[in-house]
Structure 1
Amino acid sequence: MEARRKKEMDSEEKPQEARFSLFPDEVLERILSFVNSRNDRSAVSLVCKDWYTAERWSRTHIFIGNCYSVSPEIVARRFPNIRSFTIKGKPRFSDFNLVPPNWGADIHPWLVAFASAYPFLEELRLKRMSVSDESLDFLARSFPGFKALSLVTCDGFSTKGLGSIASGCRNLTELDIQESVIDDLGGSWLNRFPESFTSLEVLNFANLNSEVNFDALERLVARCKSLKVLKVNRNVTLEQLRRLLVRAPQLIELGTGSFSQDQALPADAQLETAFGNCKNLNTLSGFWVVSSLYLPVLYPACANLSFLNLSYAPLQSTELAMLLPHCPLLRRLWVRI
Structure 2
Amino acid sequence: MRGHDWINTCLPDELIVEIFRHLDSKSTRDACSLVCHRWLDLERLSRTTLRIGATGNPDLSVKLLARRFHNVKAIHIDERLSISIPVQFGRRRGSDHSVPTLKLHSEKGVSEDGHFESNSLSDAGLSALGDGFPRLEKLSLIWCSTVSSLGLMSLAYKCSFLMSLDLQGCYVGDRGLAAVGKCCKQLEDLNLRFCEGVTDTGLVELAQGCGKSLKSLGVAACAKITHISLEAVSSYCKSLETLSLDSECMHNGGILSVARGCPSLKVLRLQCINVTDDALIAVGTHCLSLELLALNSFQRFTDKGLRAIGNGCKKLKNLSLSDCYFLSDKGLEAIATGCRELTHLEVNGCHNIGTIGLEAIGRSCLRLTELALLYCQRIGNHALLEIGKGCKFLQALHLVDCSSIGDDAICSIARGCRNLKKLHIRRCYETISCLPNHACMFLDHLCLVGDEALIAIGQGCSLQHLNVSGCHLIGDAGIIAIARGCPVLSYLDVSVLQNLGDMAMAELGEGCPLLKEIVLSHCRQITDVGLAHLVKNCTMLESCHVVYCPGITAAGVATVVSSCANIKKVLVEKWKSPPPPQCVVEKLPKVCGWKCAPNGRLGLTLFHLLKLNCWD
Normalising by structure 1, we get a TM-score of 0.75
The answer to whether the 8 A contact 2:250-2:272 is kept is yes
For residue 272 of structure 1, what is the amino acid of its counterpart?
G
Distance 1:128 1:221 in 2: 27
Match of 2:142 in 1: 127
Higher percent of residues as helix: 1
Amino acid aligned to 1:284: A
Read off the aligned partner of 2:200 and give its amino acid letter: G
Instruction: Give 1:150 deviation, angstroms.
Output: 0.6
Matched, 1:215 2:231: yes
Task: For residues 20-76 of structure 1, give each alpha carbon's deviation from its aligned partner in whole angstroms, at most 9, with x where no partner exists.
Answer: 434221111123233464344333323433332221112121111333387222211
Q: Which has the higher strand share?
A: 2
Instruction: Summarize the Cα distance change of 1:89–1:304 in structure 2 as closer, same or farther, 3 Å threshold.
Output: same
Letter in 2 for 1:140: A
Alignment match, 1:292: 302
Cα 1:168/1:195, change in 2 over 3 Å: closer
Matches within 5 A, 1:185-204: 186-193=199-206, 194=208, 197-204=211-218
Which residue of the other structure, out of 259, 265, 268, is the alignment partner of 1:254?
268
**How big is each residue's C-alpha offset from its partner over 1:251-271, in whole Å with a ceiling of 9 and x where there is no partner?**
332123636557x74x87554
For residues 1-337 of structure 1, the aligned pairs below 5 Å read 9=1, 12-14=2-4, 18-21=5-8, 22-35=10-23, 37-68=25-56, 71-91=61-81, 104-130=119-145, 131-152=147-168, 154-178=169-193, 180-184=194-198, 186-193=199-206, 194=208, 197-210=211-224, 211-213=226-228, 214-222=230-238, 225=239, 227-234=240-247, 235-238=249-252, 240-256=254-270, 258=272, 265=278, 270-275=282-287, 277-279=288-290, 281-285=291-295, 290-293=300-303, 294-300=305-311, 301=313, 304-306=316-318, 308=320, 310=322, 316-321=349-354, 328=365, 329=368, 331=370
Q: How far apart in 1 are the matches of 2:357 and 2:57?
A: 47
Amino acid of the residue matched to residue 305 of structure 1? Answer: K
Residue-by-residue CA offset, 1:152-177 (whole Å, 9 max, x unaligned): 3x233234432332233222111112
Partner of 1:95: none
Structure 1 residues 151 and 59: CA distance shift in structure 2, 3 A: same
Distance in 1 between the 2:22 and 2:219 partners?
33
Change (3 A) 1:32 1:257: same
How many percent identity over aligned positions?
21
Q: Report the AA paired with residue 289 of structure 2.
A: C
Distance apart, 1:333 and its partner CA: 5.2
In 2, distance between residues paired with 1:13 and 1:107? 50
Count of paired positions: 307
Provide closer, same or farther for how the CA distance between residues 268 and 41 of structure 1 changes in structure 2, counting only shifts above 3 A: closer
In 1, are the aligned partners of 2:126 and 2:152 still within 8 Å (CA)? no
CA distance in 2, matches of 1:195, 1:81: 27
The 3-state SS of whatever aligns with 1:57 is helix
CA contact (8 A) 1:159 1:182 kept: no
Is the contact made by 2:325 and 2:350 (CA closer than 8 Å) also made in structure 1?
A: no
Gap change, CA 1:259 and 1:169, over 3 Å in 2: same
- Tell me if the contact between 1:156 and 1:181 (Cα under 8 Å) persists in the aligned partners: yes
- Deviation at residue 110 of structure 1 after TM alignment: 2.7
Contact 2:295/2:324, CA 8 A, preserved across alignment: no
Whether the 8 Å contact between 2:241 and 2:267 is mirrored in structure 1 is yes
Distance 2:42 2:166 in 1: 29
Q: Which residue of 2 aligns with 1:5?
A: none
Equivalents in 1 of 2:314, 2:273: separation in Å? 16
C-alpha distance in structure 1 between counterparts of 2:177 and 2:171, whole Å: 12
Aligned CA distance change for structure 1 residues 160 and 182 (closer, same or farther; 3 Å): farther
* Partner-residue secondary structure (3-state), 1:183: coil
Uncovered stretches (5+) of structure 2, i.e. residues with no partner: 83-105, 109-116, 327-348, 376-400, 402-616
Q: In the alignment, residue 350 of structure 2 is paired with which amino acid?
A: S
> What amino acid is the match of 2:14?
E
Larger deviation: 71-80 or 109-118?
109-118
| Deviation string, structure 1 residues 195-235 (Cα, Å, up to 9, x no partner) | 6741112111133223142431211232xx2x321123434
**Partner letter of residue 187 of structure 1?**
D
Distance 1:64 1:54 in 2: 21
Q: Could you tell me how far apart the structure 1 residues matched to 2:297 and 2:369 are?
A: 18
Q: Name the CA distance, whole Å, in 2 between partners of 1:44 and 1:20.
A: 13
Name the amino acid aligned to 1:230: L
Deviation at 1:190, TM superposition (A): 2.6
Distance 1:284 1:297 in 2: 15
Contact residue 67 and residue 88 of structure 1 kept, 8 A: no
Residues 40 and 87 of structure 1, relative CA distance in 2, 3 Å threshold: farther
Structure of higher CA gyration radius:
2
Provide closer, same or farther for how the CA distance between residues 68 and 195 of structure 1 changes in structure 2, counting only shifts above 3 A: closer
Give the Cα–Cα distance (whole angstroms) in 2 for the partners of residues 201 and 106 of structure 1. Answer: 28
Q: What amino acid maps onto 1:136 in structure 2?
A: L
Q: Is the 8 A contact 1:309 1:335 kept in 2?
A: no
Whole-Å Cα distance in 1 between the matches of residues 314 and 118 of structure 2?
44
Shift of 1:273: 2.5
Q: Given the two structures, how large is their TM-score scaled by the length of structure 2?
A: 0.44
> Structure 1 residues 181, 110: CA separation in 2 closer, same or farther (over 3 Å shift)?
same
Q: Secondary structure at the match of 2:141?
A: strand
The one-letter code matched in structure 2 to 1:278 is S
Contact 2:33 2:39 (8 Å CA) reproduced: yes
User: 1:163 & 1:333 partners in 2: Cα distance?
Assistant: 41
Aligned to 2:546: none
Counterpart in 1 of 2:463? none
